[in-house]
Amino acid sequence: SQTLTWDGRTKLQILSSRDNAKSWNFVCYVSEPDEHFFYPHSYVDYEKKLVYLAYENARQHYINVYTFEELGV
């Protein structure tokens, strides 16, 4: 049987790519080091220049909204 652990997981973070996903650049952390989140989903609204990030921790759901300017895109 498989034991599920948090080992090997990293903080939830946002990365960006300017070369069609060949390489990635760190933008910012979404969570603190001791927080564990999963199932992140994102949506980019190019017209409004916003990025929506939804994620959860099995107890609560979160939605963050970032402007392109905040993310440096």
Tell me: the pLDDT tens digits for 7-53? 666 678 888 888 999 999 999 888 776 777 888 899 999 999 999 99
DSSP 4-36: P--TT----EEEE-SSTTSS-EEEEESS-TT--
pLDDT score at 8: 62
Instruction: Record the tokens describing residue 3, joined without a space.
Output: 């034991």
pLDDT score at 59: 87
pLDDT score at 11: 79
pLDDT score at 12: 85
Q: Under a CB-based contact definition with an 8 Å cutoff, are residues 31 and 17 in contact? A: no
**pTM above 0.85?**
no
